[in-house]
Chain A
Amino acid sequence: MLIRAKFRKEKRLRYISHLQLLDTLRRALRRAELPGKYSEGYNPTFNLSLSQPLPVGMPGGGEYLDLELTAEVRPEDFCRRLNDFLPRGIEILEGRLTDNKLKSLQAVVDRARYLLLPPLKDDSRAEAVLQDFRNKKEIIVVRKRRNKSDRRYDLREMVHKIETAADGRWSFLVSTGSRGNVRPEEIVKGLQQIDSEIGEQPLINFYREGLYVSRPPKLLTPLADEIMEGE
């Protein structure tokens, strides 16, 4: 039995790292006395896995966790009980149980939607800049890699949807995960090629609205029926 749950990590808690988040969730599960399954071996810990890490400082509204269970819990109870034992800033939003064999979150998730605070002083140019972005055949950006040579890649083909959100933020649906990954700062590099007035954007101007699974023509969440049925 496995529970997959959606959660958000926001406010001050955006400053804790991926590993710290894992520890925080594990301890909260213990405090909540939820029936998580432990790994075998010298240091038994919960079989808990998370979706792609958020950069430290960036809040996320649609993150996911998978936890193996030793007993059934109603998803509503799981969320409510775990929330009672989590620090403010992390909140479990919904969950689903399954006995099916699921691909891991990091294997199945391949899209992320980032919202960026309007980076231009004159927001009336927003639509023009985004239209330019859409029209480009190719946007080459350079990725710095630690202990490795720089890599050049085409950003354009990994940005799948560009729009402005209702609140005016710029929204980018991009590839994420092992089959192609766009870093938020590379979106900014691409925008700067279109409009040189766009300055550096600190991480905290971004919000990762959600993580998704692409099943063209559909865009699914990891909790969608098609995904939870297993492979």
Chain B
Amino acid sequence: MANVFSKIDDSLYQVESPERYIGREWNQIKKDWEETEIRTCLAFPDTYEIGMSHLGLKLLYHRLNQEEDILCERVFAPWTDMEKLLKKKGLHLYSLENKRELLDFDLLGFTLQYELSYTTILNMLKLGGLPLRSAERDNSHPLVIAGGATVFNPEPLAPFIDLFYLGEAERDIVRLVRRYQELTESDCSRGQILRELTELSGIYVPSFYQPVYQQGNLESIKVKQDVKPRVSRQYIEDLDQAFYPTDFIVPYADIVHNRAVVEISRGCQRGCRFCAAGMSYRPARERSVETILNLAEKIISSTGYDEISLTSLSSMDYSRIEELVTRLADRFAGQNVSISLPSLRIDEFSLKIAREVQRVRRSGLTFAPEAGTQRLRNIINKGVREEDLFQAVRSAFESGWHRIKLYFMLGLPGEEEEDLAGIARLAKKTAEIGQQIRRETSRKMRRIEVQVNVSTFIPKPFTPFQWFEMESLKAIREKIEYLQQHLTGRSLSLDWNDPETSRLEALLARGDRRLAPVLEQVWQRGSRLEGWSEQVDYNRWQQVLEEFSLSEEDFLAGRETDEPLPWDHLYAGVDKDFLQQEWQRASSGKETPDCRWSACSSCGICGSPRSGLELARDKEEAAGHAD
């Protein structure tokens, strides 16, 4: 249906934050609908504010729109009030640019950012007027694809999505779209088209793979057609040369990250054993300082933002971070542009960089020791020493910061009471250091605050801890209580993530296709937007699981290393041997250092040791301007 918007325009004042639904932001790309041959839409299964803070969505939006004969539009999940309004008016969910129903597009691509958005995906399909299941759709419907951070175990979504793209999609998205368009112009059925698309790298069509269960356990995954037995993740090899947009859309709403975002590097090889991103975004790749400066300049002039955020999994590991922030600060001096770094490492060097970028206002800093004792930090391979932490916080307080946030996880493998006591001890010591500095300084310093945040560890696929069990609700609650009792005192506060929500996230992260009907049923009973604490309904999930004769434990219990895993037919880049070896090393408390400054740990990413690594430093040295 053309122009859905005219039927709802005059009613939008009835919903909260109507600017979410109007589009027409600065730098929005609206192409002529009739004149453009291939029509694609990117769907983000959460609200506008969350989706517009997501870099991956923007990369693909601008990449696709770069092609003259392709248009790419956006759609976000409507909030519950807007959903009601759409239904009342008998309208389908529409895209922000041309205001077309999702049904009108050739291709619809969902971002998989986190597991709790899966019910929202079903909701958006339904609100968009599409049949829910892939098997019910044919060539008259858009091809429904998905990809993103949680794509490495997409099994709970398998019946609803036509194909998944594994890895960094800006690499091949245009190829995929074009190949699909070619195939639709032939006489192929939807099934034949999907079969043809599996020939492209990174494409996983779940309907061609059939899990076989024996007495409630996964026995194997049968490949139904002559397709690849295992699908591999794709990644950008040369990040410096890779596409990066500069004409970012400028939202009206105060979204989470309303600033110029420059991705300085991708991937992290520190090898924290709990970290899914650290495993599946290897190898670490960097953009050069020159490229970053150029991008920053163009983004600032195109958007009018007054803040630049340097983003990556671990900014401090950028091999020329000091040069970069100094040159950025110089470049934008006098233009009232500030620079922010989202991920600080715990060391003196990071503090020096932080001082450099935050020349003026100093309020809060965040550090993530993750575990309370050295023994446990060795198990998880978080290479942080207690002395580093104390030195970093001392330096932070001395430099004028007065609020320190400390992040920890509960339920890690090998965790004991002394580790919880360790969290309390680290926090107290941090507060003491701050208080002492505040007493002795001649400067005016605000009251010291140490905020401890604990979250429940989730053993995720494609990490060395994928075989470990998820902690029970009871045990997590007891640990939180312990911390409540022991983390008392001036300047200290404790905050925790809801453990029930973490259990749900773990369920979907580790689940298999038996969860698909559960997901559908939970959604039908009203679950959606479950990333929002007021929307998530843990008991509903329990009830539906029970009705399907399943329990959380079927998916959250520990697994043997020789047991088949629901995601064994997918490959996130690191070898299973490496993960097992890391699991072994964890059990014996051995650390594995980053291969960038130590021996190769044979994770399987590079063909030969270190050959695939690409650092800004190496590049410039090779080009002959070494320091």
Q: Which residues of A contact B (CB under 8 A)?
A: 12-13, 15-17, 19-20, 23-24, 26-31, 38, 42-45, 56-57, 85-89, 202-204
Using a CB-CB cutoff of 8 Å, which residues 471-489 of chain B contact chain A?
A: none
* A33 to B, closest residue via Cβ: B301
With A16-B19, A56-B13, A88-B24 known to touch, is A44 a contact of B302 (CB < 8 Å)? no
A31 touches B301 (CB 8 A): yes
Name the A residues within 8 Å of B13 (CB-CB): 15, 56-57, 202-204
Q: Within the assembled complex, what's the spacing in Å between the Cα atoms of A42 and B360?
A: 6
A13-B22, A30-B306 given. 10 additional CB < 8 A pairs?
A12-B22, A12-B24, A24-B252, A26-B304, A31-B26, A42-B360, A45-B336, A57-B12, A85-B304, A88-B24
Return the contact of B254 from the options A20, A26, A43, A44 (Cβ within 8 A). A20
A20 touches B304 (CB 8 A): no
Name the A residues within 8 Å of B23 (CB-CB): 12
With A13-B24, A20-B253, A88-B24 known to touch, is A27 a contact of B303 (CB < 8 Å)? yes
With A26-B304, A87-B24 known to touch, is A43 a contact of B361 (CB < 8 Å)? yes
Q: Within the assembled complex, what's the spacing in Å between the Cα atoms of A150 and B9?
A: 32
Using a CB-CB cutoff of 8 Å, which residues 1-17 of chain B contact chain A?
A: 9-10, 12-13
Q: Within the assembled complex, what's the spacing in Å between the Cα atoms of A24 and B10?
A: 23
A-B contacts, 19 of them at CB < 8 A, read: A12-B9, A12-B23, A15-B12, A16-B19, A16-B22, A19-B254, A26-B304, A31-B302, A38-B336, A44-B336, A56-B13, A56-B18, A57-B12, A85-B304, A87-B26, A88-B24, A202-B10, A202-B13, A203-B13
Q: Within the assembled complex, what's the spacing in Å between the Cα atoms of A85 and B302?
A: 10
Return the contact of A27 from the options B12, B18, B254, B304 (Cβ within 8 A). B304
B361 touches A42 (CB 8 A): yes
What are the interface flags for B223-253 relative to A under an 8 Å C-beta threshold, 1 for contact and 0 otherwise? 0000000000000000000000000001011
Return the contact of A23 from the options B10, B252, B302, B360 (Cβ within 8 A). B252
B336 touches A20 (CB 8 A): no
B18 touches A28 (CB 8 A): no
Q: Within the assembled complex, what's the spacing in Å between the Cα atoms of A44 and B303?
A: 17
Return the contact of A17 from the options B19, B250, B304, B305 (Cβ within 8 A). B19
A89 touches B24 (CB 8 A): yes
Q: B546 within 8 Å of A by Cβ?
A: no
Q: Within the assembled complex, what's the spacing in Å between the Cα atoms of A29 and B335?
A: 13
Return the contact of A29 from the options B250, B302, B304 (Cβ within 8 A). B304
Q: B25 within 8 Å of A by Cβ?
A: yes
Name the A residues within 8 Å of B252 (CB-CB): 16, 20, 23-24
Q: Within the assembled complex, what's the spacing in Å between the Cα atoms of A213 and B24?
A: 33
A31 touches B10 (CB 8 A): no
B304 touches A31 (CB 8 A): yes
Name the B residues within 8 Å of A42 (CB-CB): 360-361
Q: Within the assembled complex, what's the spacing in Å between the Cα atoms of A24 and B19?
A: 13
Q: Within the assembled complex, what's the spacing in Å between the Cα atoms of A23 and B250?
A: 10
Name the B residues within 8 Å of A16 (CB-CB): 19, 22, 252
B254 touches A23 (CB 8 A): yes
Q: Within the assembled complex, what's the spacing in Å between the Cα atoms of A214 and B302?
A: 41
* B5 to A, closest residue via Cβ: A12
Q: Within the assembled complex, what's the spacing in Å between the Cα atoms of A13 and B252?
A: 10
Nearest Cβ distance between residue A43 and chain B, in whole angstroms? 7
Name the B residues within 8 Å of A44 (CB-CB): 336
Q: Within the assembled complex, what's the spacing in Å between the Cα atoms of A48 and B254?
A: 18
Name the A residues within 8 Å of B305 (CB-CB): 27, 30
What are the interface flags for B178-217 relative to A under an 8 Å C-beta threshold, 1 for contact and 0 otherwise? 0000000000000000000000000000000000000000
Q: Within the assembled complex, what's the spacing in Å between the Cα atoms of A28 and B303?
A: 8
* B9 to A, closest residue via Cβ: A12
Name the B residues within 8 Å of A45 (CB-CB): 306, 336
Name the A residues within 8 Å of B19 (CB-CB): 15-17, 20
Return the contact of A31 from the options B22, B303, B361 (Cβ within 8 A). B303
Name the A residues within 8 Å of B26 (CB-CB): 24, 27-28, 31, 85-87
Name the B residues within 8 Å of A57 (CB-CB): 12-13, 18
Interface centre among B9, B10, B13, B304 (most CB of A within 10 A): B304
Q: Within the assembled complex, what's the spacing in Å between the Cα atoms of A12 and B96?
A: 12
Q: Within the assembled complex, what's the spacing in Å between the Cα atoms of A71 and B250?
A: 27
B360 touches A204 (CB 8 A): no
Name the A residues within 8 Å of B25 (CB-CB): 87
- Which 10 A-B pairs rank lowest in CB-CB distance, beginning with the nearest? A57-B13, A27-B304, A30-B304, A31-B304, A15-B18, A12-B22, A42-B361, A20-B252, A16-B252, A44-B336
B304 touches A28 (CB 8 A): yes
Q: Within the assembled complex, what's the spacing in Å between the Cα atoms of A85 and B13?
A: 26
Name the B residues within 8 Å of A19 (CB-CB): 254
Nearest Cβ distance between residue B47 and chain A, in whole angstroms? 16
Name the B residues within 8 Å of A24 (CB-CB): 26, 250, 252
Name the A residues within 8 Å of B254 (CB-CB): 19-20, 23
* B251 to A, closest residue via Cβ: A20
Q: Within the assembled complex, what's the spacing in Å between the Cα atoms of A12 and B22?
A: 6
Q: Within the assembled complex, what's the spacing in Å between the Cα atoms of A57 and B25?
A: 17
Nearest Cβ distance between residue A208 and chain B, in whole angstroms? 14
A204 touches B304 (CB 8 A): no
Q: Within the assembled complex, what's the spacing in Å between the Cα atoms of A57 and B26?
A: 19
Q: Within the assembled complex, what's the spacing in Å between the Cα atoms of A89 and B9?
A: 14
Nearest Cβ distance between residue A23 and chain B, in whole angstroms? 7
* B301 to A, closest residue via Cβ: A31
Nearest Cβ distance between residue B258 and chain A, in whole angstroms? 8
Name the B residues within 8 Å of A85 (CB-CB): 26, 304
Interface centre among A15, A16, A19, A29 (most CB of B within 10 A): A15
* B14 to A, closest residue via Cβ: A202
* B258 to A, closest residue via Cβ: A23
Name the B residues within 8 Å of A203 (CB-CB): 13
Q: Within the assembled complex, what's the spacing in Å between the Cα atoms of A57 and B304?
A: 25
Q: Within the assembled complex, what's the spacing in Å between the Cα atoms of A88 and B28?
A: 11
Q: Within the assembled complex, what's the spacing in Å between the Cα atoms of A45 and B25?
A: 21
Nearest Cβ distance between residue A24 and chain B, in whole angstroms? 6
Name the A residues within 8 Å of B9 (CB-CB): 12
Q: Within the assembled complex, what's the spacing in Å between the Cα atoms of A26 and B305?
A: 9
Nearest Cβ distance between residue B625 and chain A, in whole angstroms? 32
Nearest Cβ distance between residue B212 and chain A, in whole angstroms? 53
* A55 to B, closest residue via Cβ: B13
Interface centre among A12, A42, A57 (most CB of B within 10 A): A12
Name the A residues within 8 Å of B304 (CB-CB): 26-31, 85
Nearest Cβ distance between residue B323 and chain A, in whole angstroms? 26
Nearest Cβ distance between residue A32 and chain B, in whole angstroms? 8
Name the A residues within 8 Å of B12 (CB-CB): 15, 57
What are the interface flags for B288-319 relative to A under an 8 Å C-beta threshold, 1 for contact and 0 otherwise? 00000000000001111110000000000000
